[in-house]
Structure 1
Amino acid sequence: MHRAAHDMIPETALDWHRQGRQAAIATVVETWGSAPRPVGAQLAISGEAELAGSVSGGCVEGAVAAEALEALSDGTARLMEFGVSDGDAFAVGLACGGTIRVLVEPVGAALPEALLAELVAARAARRAVGVETRLAADPAGPVTPMPGLAHRLIGYADAPARFDADRSGFDAEAPRRFIAIHNPPLRLAIIGGAHIAQPLALMARETGYDVTVIDPREAFASPARFPGERLMHDWPDAALKAHGLDLRCAVVLLTHDPKLDDPALMVALPSPAFYIGALGSTRTHARRRERLAAAGLAPELIDRIDAPVGLDIGARSPAEIAVATLAQMTERLRRPETRPGRTPVPGAPVPA
């Protein structure tokens, strides 16, 4: 698992700060119209005017960087508002312009180094974490000094809807309370290197998942069949324990073999994974339920399985089944109310 360079803004800013090069982090906190970057997008600026990330797709980065250097000079955060013209918006691929509001915070002054280090550690440990920032005043102009910001880290239980939706933003009930969401990258564990797994791995990777194919049969989970994917040849239960399952993980079982699928389900079902889908007909799933119940799993955990796997779109070919499965994964991720059964509390341990 790795994060793309554009998603390493807290890490980059902390490194620059600790190297004595100074650093500030700019965060998009509000947008109106067709803003080039979403709320929560970040840009790191060093004391030498180096840039990492983006808050506007290039439209106003220079102005943000100039203000960040001023913030590094006096140690005071700033809240800035920019209008993105139609011409600038067109240059970054949008039909029309909009307005963005950006908060710039110098590290070690307005943004405490200890809090940033705690955020970086949480991200490295794949913990869903948010940074709550309480503004000291309402915006008073295009550039508003923001002394006295208050920060704290929050967890999933503090704002579950925001974590589920990957949506940073101000709290409607507390207009000066901004929450920046830092979710771990999405991961997909595919049990069984079957024919459906090949298009599913490709599509999932394009959708932003880190994919792992688990199959003790090396002929099925081979580099030739899954070029570029992470492959594990341990038995599925051992492999899933080594892989780790959290609230940003999906598990899809495609072997159609109880010897492989059932041990994987014994690990996956008590975990916080947001999606667990299993290939097989309604009759096959009924027998699966009987086996899992006999093995001691509670009915509410067995109910978590999406089976037959995928949305019912009449899919027939392996690629169509992969489309249906990825669509169902997306629905379960973005609309938690559609998840079957009971989702364990995030952070619950996976059975040893």
Structure 2
Amino acid sequence: MDNIDLEVLKTCAQWLDSGLRCELVTVLKTWGSSPRPVGSMLAICEDGRVVGSVSGGCIEDDMIALARSEGLTRLLPAIVTYGISADEAHRFGLPCGGTIELAIEPLTGDSQIRTLMNRLTAGELVARRLDLQTGVVTLSGAIPSESMQVSESALVTLHGPRWRLLIIGAGQLSRFVAQIAQGMDYAVTVCDPREEYQASWSVTGVDLSTSMPDDQVIAMHLDSRSAVIALTHDPKLDDLALMEALRSEAFYVGAIGSRLNNQRRRERLAEHFDMTVEQLAKLHGPIGLYIGSKTPAEIAISILAQLTAVKNGVMVQAGLGIADAKVLAGLAATGEVCDIHSPL
């Protein structure tokens, strides 16, 4: 699954290869609430087709109407602002007084979209610099800590995965987690030394490691933009890897299993590997948010929802554990609870 950024760029390359005029639109600034964050991209074709999004839809509708009625006539990049007045903000679906500033770039064969795509396909993180005065584009390597930069003379955008996810185990659940995570801007590695699981693994764009999981954790030099999810149910594979991950700077470490199994896992880690209370507190298990998930796809959503909340610094269900959530969910289903928002 491609993330939105990659989908936009791929579509631009296809339009250019077909000889169609198109423009790339990037959100530069927002004031007040905005449906899409800074850096969001949209591409528009001369026939009115669009991919991506920069607003809730009204700005896109305006661009489509202009493309169809007037064509795409820009020869150089332009900065456009929507929503200066309250009336215009309302028209374009922005909060009253809200404003959004966009860079609109006419694309050509010199825009290096195809070259950028090739580098992204190779797994690179790339900085794309657009000269706002001349339209000249240059590409260079980037590091995850960099962010989009804009000045009067240039716009520098970052493309490629800026987060890393290591999944231990190549089972069915891992496929769903890996596919969704790719769309969330993660470079995904799956590690499984078991031959029977390696043979059936086939998720495009995901690296498959056959090393022992703890060796893979060490080799990846996990940092604060890394996450580890253990999905094998096998202590021989999970425990050593979790030990190494919990001692790293990874922002998220989780393991599948019941409450009882996770309690036993914590006891093993404390007894046999001298894990501290602080290190064990980093372990998310049972993994995921309780949403009543049953199928692998639903469980994957639950896991990645929790991972995303941790990444974004959001406290979810503070004071409410999975056991309590299940109790409240059962009571709510029978009509015995009117307000399930307060922790027990």
**If the TM-score is normalised by the length of the shorter chain, which range does it land in?**
0.5 to 0.7
Name the structure 1 match of 2:55: 56
Name the structure 2 match of 1:104: 104
Q: Which runs of 5+ in 1 are unaligned?
A: 136-146, 163-167, 224-229, 291-301, 336-352
Name the structure 2 match of 1:44: 43
Name the structure 1 match of 2:114: 117
Deviations 1:1-35 (A, max 9, x none): x2156751111111111121222211121221223
Q: Return the alpha-carbon distance in structure 2 between the equivalents of residues 4 and 287 of structure 1.
A: 42
Contact 2:167 2:189 survives alignment (8 Å): yes
Name the structure 2 match of 1:130: 127
| Shift in CA distance, 331/113, structure 1 to aligned 2, threshold 3 Å | same
The size of the alignment, in residue pairs, is 281
| Shift in CA distance, 117/44, structure 1 to aligned 2, threshold 3 Å | same
Name the structure 1 match of 2:155: 178
- Please state whether the residue corresponding to 1:57 is helix, strand or coil: coil
- Please state whether the residue corresponding to 1:103 is helix, strand or coil: strand
Q: Which moved more, 1:267-276 or 1:174-183?
A: 267-276
Alignment partner for residue 259 of structure 1, among 203, 219, 236? 236
Q: Return the alpha-carbon distance in structure 1 between the equivalents of residues 99 and 156 of structure 2.
A: 19
- Please state whether the residue corresponding to 1:251 is helix, strand or coil: strand
Deviation at 1:133, TM superposition (A): 3.0
Deviations 1:186-224 (A, max 9, x none): 664443599xx89x959x8699477969584979xx99x
| Shift in CA distance, 57/14, structure 1 to aligned 2, threshold 3 Å | same
Matching of residues 218-229 of structure 1 within 5 Å: none
Q: Return the alpha-carbon distance in structure 2 between the equivalents of residues 160 and 274 of structure 1.
A: 15
- Please state whether the residue corresponding to 2:51 is helix, strand or coil: strand
- Please state whether the residue corresponding to 2:34 is helix, strand or coil: coil
Deviation at 1:120, TM superposition (A): 1.2
Matching residue's letter, 2:111? E
Contact 2:16 2:22 survives alignment (8 Å): yes
| Shift in CA distance, 51/193, structure 1 to aligned 2, threshold 3 Å | closer
Q: Which runs of 5+ in 2 are unaligned?
A: 256-261, 291-298, 314-344
Name the structure 2 match of 1:285: 269
Contact 2:12 2:22 survives alignment (8 Å): yes
Deviation at 1:153, TM superposition (A): 2.8
Residue 153 in structure 1 maps to residue 153 in structure 2: no
TM-score, with normalisation over the residues of structure 1? 0.56
Identity of matched residues, %:
29
Name the structure 1 match of 2:75: 75
Alignment partner for residue 310 of structure 1, among 247, 268, 283? 283
| Shift in CA distance, 64/327, structure 1 to aligned 2, threshold 3 Å | closer
Q: Return the alpha-carbon distance in structure 2 between the equivalents of residues 10 and 264 of structure 1.
A: 36
Q: Return the alpha-carbon distance in structure 2 between the equivalents of residues 309 and 234 of structure 1.
A: 26
CA RMSD of aligned residues (A): 5.4
Deviation at 1:270, TM superposition (A): 12
Deviation at 1:180, TM superposition (A): 2.0
Residue 85 in structure 1 maps to residue 82 in structure 2: no
Matching residue's letter, 2:49? E
Contact 1:214 1:239 survives alignment (8 Å): no
TM-score, with normalisation over the residues of structure 2? 0.57
